[in-house]
Amino acid sequence: MVPTHYYLILAAIIFSMGALGVLVRRNALIIFMCVEMMLNAVNLTLVALANQWGNLSGQVFVFIVMAVAAAEVAIGLAIVMAIVRHKDTINVEEINLLKW
């Protein structure tokens, strides 16, 4: 059996990579994928700790996080598609629709 702290270290690495990607990248689709990586790291942590404590409530929260992630992807991609139709770019530095 693999110790729980291995899963937590892996989740921390995945979360850090996702956070770094959100901060560094300028492509909106890459930013959405990095946010998904961060949510999957949280899911891994919830499942690992639920398994360690023998409680299923962590796994129930994983389904909630997955539903939120699916909604985020659907809404985010709809916004990106609308911006691409308007500006012909997905670079977040070039998107200034709210400026006068």
Query: Looking at residue 9, which CATH number applies to its domain?
Result: 1.10.287.3510
Tell me the residue range of the domain where 48 lies: 4-87
**Has residue 94 been placed in a domain?**
no
Q: What is the pTM of this model?
A: 0.84
What is the pLDDT, as a whole number, of residue 99? Answer: 65
Domain count for the chain, please give it: 1
**Has residue 23 been placed in a domain?**
yes
**Has residue 81 been placed in a domain?**
yes
**Has residue 8 been placed in a domain?**
yes
Could you identify the residue written with the tokens 């539903």? 67
Contact yes or no for 11/48 (Cβ under 8 A): yes
pLDDT string in tens for the chain (100-residue length): 889 999 999 999 999 999 999 999 988 889 999 999 999 999 999 999 999 998 888 889 999 999 999 998 899 889 888 888 888 887 888 777 666 5
What is the pLDDT, as a whole number, of residue 15? Answer: 98
**Has residue 96 been placed in a domain?**
no
**Has residue 51 been placed in a domain?**
yes
**Has residue 56 been placed in a domain?**
yes
State how far the Cα of 5 lies from the Cα of 3, in Å rounded to an integer. Answer: 6
